[in-house]
Amino acid sequence: MKGTYRKRGCACGEGKKCKCGATWSYRIDIGLDPKTGKRKQKEKGGYRTESEARAAAAKIYVEIMEGTFSQESNVKLENFIDEWLKDYGNSGVKPSTLALRKHEAERWKEKLGRAKLLKNVSRSDYQTVIDESAEKYAFNTVSSMHRTGRLIFHKAEEIGAIKINPTKFTQIPRKRTTIEELENNEELAKYMEKEDLAKLLLSAKTSGKDLDYPALLVLAYTGMRVGELCALKWTDLDFEEKTIRITKTYYNPYGVIVNYELLTPKTKTSVRTISVDDIVIKALIDLKAKQNVVKMQKRDVYHDHDFIFAKLKKYYGYPEPKWLVRQRMLKLLKQIGMDNEGLTVHSLRHTHTSLLAEAGVSLEAIMDRLGHKNDATTKAVYLHVTKSKKKEASDKFAELMSGL
């Protein structure tokens, strides 16, 4: 086999009969550099005998012939991740997804060691980080972190920077729930009873700002996400059919009102059409009338992009940011003495679920209305609300049978 084999650093000069502990190395050609056209060589030492060095070189030749050989890179983990993020950012992913990957990539740098060579990350190293993270974070958080890790090391494997992908065969441990935890677990997603919801909406209508009542009404009566609400345009509303079409979501990670983006919805099932009743339609008609007045008064500065929940004071026409909707709801909750209930804007989504369940709407219909394919929280709220109805059905059956 072509190549050179030698004993490096021999001090005794005995050649093959060397007794000073010097080891054998090989140097072989592994192809041409596509950029320079010059031959590329691989050299490796540390073998006890010439036969071992030749066997190792022969293995490399087999890999070259089979097309499975990769020249592992000496790049640092941190540098490779930074380059990967650049490419990932240019692949057309959503800004919100890119922000998540950046956050998780930083976590991988810290956990595995920024200065560590990419090729030296072992499966054991990777699994240890996953195991330790599973002790601190929720399963979904660790799963997302693992997804980012797989993307990083899959790219490294694809370009031949590593031979062994450390993410393969990784298992995310699930915390085993104890009997005591199951018995004591009474926590449920926060939602409002219909009487409390009525108080909130009345407060928004009588003492809230211009957007408070219609915004909270739409959230409570449709179950849509606040990001979907802020992205709504008048073209999404069909007054005759009394429907609202959800096709986008509002994105503004830094909260600067003029720096918003409109993105595609969270999932494919999030694209949906929601039927609404006359109460919602009337509130939106009233809002449009107020908006038209402001548009005429401020037509020179109005940001006229057809938003339903457009600001009517300062930054005229810009969509109401999510953080302000949340802030306004908290202020209204305080007015009615419910600011210590742990309720949020998202609680209106759970409230919508609970009221539909109470009205006898099926879980499948509720999930479709919310744009969910599968959601454990929605199911939990639904089952909690319908528990009494199941008990009622059981009692009625027992009563029927007792008369036999």
Q: For residues 277 and 286, is the Cβ–Cβ distance under 8 A? A: no
Q: Show the domains of the chain with their CATH numbers.
A: 4-66 (no CATH), 77-172 (1.10.150.130), 194-389 (1.10.443.10)
Burial 75-99 (b: 16+ CB within 10 A, else e): bbbbebbeebbeebeeeeeeeeebe
Q: Which range in 65-79, 348-362, 379-393 is most confidently predicted, on average pLDDT?
A: 348-362
Cβ atoms within 10 Å of 330's Cβ, excluding its own: 14
Task: Give the helix/strand (H/E) hosting 49.
Answer: none
pLDDT digits (tens, 9 = 90+) for 189-207: 788 999 999 999 999 999 9
Choose between 88 and 39: higher pLDDT: 88
C-alpha span between 305 and 293 (Å, rounded): 16
pLDDT for 390 equals 66
Q: Does residue 238 have a pLDDT over 90? A: yes
Averaged over 1-18, what is the pLDDT? Answer: 72
Is it the case that residue 40 has pLDDT exceeding 90? no
Among 369, 363, 362, smallest CA distance to 221 is for 369
Backbone angles phi, psi at 371, to 5 degrees: 80, 30
Q: Cβ(372)–Cβ(378) under 8 Å?
A: yes
With 70 as the cut, is the pLDDT of residue 281 above it? yes
Residue appearing with tokens 């909130």 = 200
Predicted confidence (pLDDT) per residue in 313-322, tens digit = 999 999 999 9
Q: What is the mean pLDDT of residues 322-342?
A: 93
The pLDDT of 162-168, averaged and rounded, is 90
Determine the Cα–Cα distance for residues 242 and 43; give it in Å rounded to an integer: 74
Strand-by-strand arrangement of the 243-246 sheet: 237-238, 243-246, 272-275
Summarize the confidence of residues 304-320 as an average pLDDT: 96
Q: Which has the minimum average pLDDT: 61-75, 99-113, 148-162? A: 61-75
Q: How many CB atoms lie within 10 A of CB 358?
A: 15
Question: Per the structure block, which two tokens stand in for 232?
Answer: 């709504």
Question: Which amino acid is located at 369 in the chain?
Answer: R
Mean pLDDT of 288-306: 96
pLDDT of res. 293: 97
pLDDT of residue 327: 95
Strands (E), 174-314: 237-238, 243-246, 249-251, 261-263, 272-275
Longest dimension (CA), the chain: 108
Range of weakest confidence among 42-46, 84-88, 344-348: 42-46
Which of the pair, 2 or 53, is modelled with greater confidence? Answer: 53
Candidates 141, 162, 143, 140; CA nearest to 153 is 162
Q: Is the dihedral of CA 282, 283, 285, 290 positive or negative?
A: positive
pTM for the model: 0.64
Q: How confident is the model at residue 182 (pLDDT cuts 50, 70, 90)?
A: very low
Q: Which residue is associated with the tokens 């959601």?
A: 375
Inter-residue contact 96 to 136 (CB < 8 Å): no
| Overall average pLDDT of the 6-33 stretch | 75
pLDDT digits (tens, 9 = 90+) for 85-133: 999 998 888 888 899 999 999 999 999 998 899 989 999 999 999 999 9
Residue 285: per-residue pLDDT: 97
3-state secondary structure of 79: helix
User: Residue 193: which residues within 8 A CB-CB, separation 6 or more?
Assistant: none
Residue type, 173: P
Q: How far, CA to CA in Å, does 6 sit from each of 41, 46, 121?
A: 15, 11, 30
Distances (CA, A) of 294 to 221, 253, 283, 287: 26, 28, 17, 11
